[in-house]
Structure 1
Amino acid sequence: MKKIINGLLIALILVAGFSCTKVDNLPGPNAGFKGRIIDKTTSANLITETSGMQIKLEELSYSATPDPQYIPSKQDGTFEDDKLFKGHYRVTPYGGAFWPVDGVELDINGTTSHDFEVTPYLAIKNLTNSLSGTTLTLTFNMVAPIPDGLPQIIDVKPFVNDTQFVGSGANINNYSDVNRITLNSNYSDVVGKTYTLTIPSLKSGRTFYARVGVRVNDSFKQYNYSDIIEVKVP
């Protein structure tokens, strides 16, 4: 009996060992998707911040109602993911400071490229900057490419950082949040007005990067941004 029990134990150990060392032969991700999100009003990339907008992918190869996955944008308005499975997808720009757009269906196989056009809610125009001592002053106007139906404008805000990655997720709070202007206004109340943001007490001898952001009260409350300026404080 003892020999039988020992034999069974050895057999179980061998089976368990074989199960643990079995090679997974399932194929891994074998495709990639990249492109640009383009500002329809300028034909240039819609500048944003890292993850300021996303590409929503819904793989339709196996389901009509799949769980979506997302590719975050880069600050320059491009996106890329090289760890996807090839298949037929519905692809939609999503979660950014632009008017909603319909998705497109396409096949992703190998490295697939596709650009999207969107219309931003607002654009920062006529941005000027001046530095007096350690105080930075930014002046600008806001323009809505599509004014009709624009959600209320929540606020305008300076974003300042010590790297070129600057936005709502990357800024120095003492220079950014405290100097914002709360609006909660309709576009008709702000059109044609010149706004001024003042950022005092920048540290001497440092280089900063600054931009202006404005957001509306939609589902995502992301910012439309100006270009980034470099500020060298003497």
Structure 2
Amino acid sequence: MKKIAFCTLFCALFSFSSCGLFEVDNYDEPKETLWGEVVDVATGKRVLTDQGKDGTYIRLTELSWGENVQHNPDFNCMSDGTFQNTKIFKGLYHIDVVGAFIPLLRENENGTPLADDTQTTEIKGTTKVRFEVQPFLNIEWVGEPTISNGKVTAKLRITRGVSEEEFRSKIEPMGGYESNFLNVTDVRLFVSYSSSVGYGTSMDNDEFDPWSGELKYSGSEFNPSLGEVITIESKGSIPSGRTVFVRAAARINYATPKGSGTKRYNYNEAKELMVP
């Protein structure tokens, strides 16, 4: 009886192995590289972002497998507006980029395309792409941020990257348009030991991030301040003798992609400060 059972098990294992269960995966590992940049179509400058899931991200869909293929795992843009992925299989890809700017792919509520500024390209070796976008807001330093008694003070100027009229003409046809989408909801002064300072190093956690300052606005309250110089301060007291990085950000009341609930920040460049 034991011999019969053993023979049955042996035959079953042999059958599995003949079906390829124990074959070694001999596919080449992904080694193609995609490098890109996201720039403001009006200025040619890179659109700065948060280096995390709430910043600009890239979505790849390999078209080699047919129309119903699932997209690759999303990956994030770097804070300077560039992105790179060095582990991609060779093939034809659809590339979409999502961030705090007018969506590249816009469809109406029935899924009918209204505009498509995404790209389809063959990724082979090192492939470079450039996306020109319309950021919601522009944030610029006015003078240099200063620090005194452990507190950072900065002056900023915030302007729209796309006019109200053009924003509405591109977003309203997608459906569900609300007049409050363009309202600036908050302005932030992020402070961190990390040069990648931003929302990703803050996450609204006072214990983890005790110094970042914030100005909140309701409705269209911020509108008179567009184009004007505003002042924002950090909170708490940064220990002396430390080096910190500061960066300002602002966002509007519009989520990208549509329906995600994620309202992404536009940023300016980071500054390095030594706390006296």
Partner of 2:210: 174
Partner of 1:85: 89
Give the conservation status (yes or no) of the 8 Å contact 2:140–2:156: yes
Which has the larger displacement, 203-212 or 19-28? 19-28
SS of match in other structure, 2:35: strand
Q: Which amino acid aligns with 2:264?
A: Q
Give the conservation status (yes or no) of the 8 Å contact 2:141–2:268: no
Q: Which amino acid aligns with 2:30?
A: P
Q: Which of residues 136, 139, 142 in structure 2 aligns to 1:121? A: 136
CA RMSD in angstroms comes to 2.4
Partner of 2:61: 58
Q: Which amino acid aligns with 2:242?
A: R
Query: Mapping of 1:1-234 within 5 angstroms?
Result: 3-12=3-12, 21-51=22-52, 52-69=55-72, 70-94=74-98, 96-101=99-104, 102-128=117-143, 129-149=145-165, 151-171=182-202, 173-176=209-212, 179-186=213-220, 188-200=223-235, 201-219=237-255, 220-234=262-276
Instruction: Tell me how far 1:16 sits from its aligned partner.
Output: 6.0
Instruction: Tell me how far 1:5 sits from its aligned partner.
Output: 4.7
Q: 1:89 to 1:199 in 2, by over 3 A?
A: same
Instruction: Tell me how far 1:84 sits from its aligned partner.
Output: 1.7
TM-score norm. by structure 2 comes to 0.74
Instruction: Tell me how far 1:57 sits from its aligned partner.
Output: 1.5
Q: 1:7 to 1:192 in 2, by over 3 A?
A: closer
SS of match in other structure, 1:174: coil
Q: 1:38 to 1:7 in 2, by over 3 A?
A: same
Give the conservation status (yes or no) of the 8 Å contact 2:184–2:223: no
Q: 1:17 to 1:173 in 2, by over 3 A?
A: same
Give the conservation status (yes or no) of the 8 Å contact 2:33–2:127: yes
Q: Percent identity?
A: 30
Q: Which amino acid aligns with 2:127?
A: T
CA distance in 1, matches of 2:215, 2:75: 32
CA distance in 2, matches of 1:13, 1:90: 42
CA distance in 2, matches of 1:133, 1:3: 85
Instruction: Tell me how far 1:208 sits from its aligned partner.
Output: 0.9
Instruction: Tell me how far 1:9 sits from its aligned partner.
Output: 4.2
Instruction: Tell me how far 1:185 sits from its aligned partner.
Output: 4.2
Give the conservation status (yes or no) of the 8 Å contact 2:142–2:229: no
SS of match in other structure, 2:210: helix
CA distance in 1, matches of 2:268, 2:3: 80
Paired positions, count: 231
Q: 1:124 to 1:15 in 2, by over 3 A?
A: same
Q: Which amino acid aligns with 1:141?
A: R
Can you list the C-alpha shifts for 1:34-82, whole angstroms capped at 9, x where unaligned?
1111122332222212132012212222322432232311112111112
- For structure 1, the 5+ residue unaligned runs are none
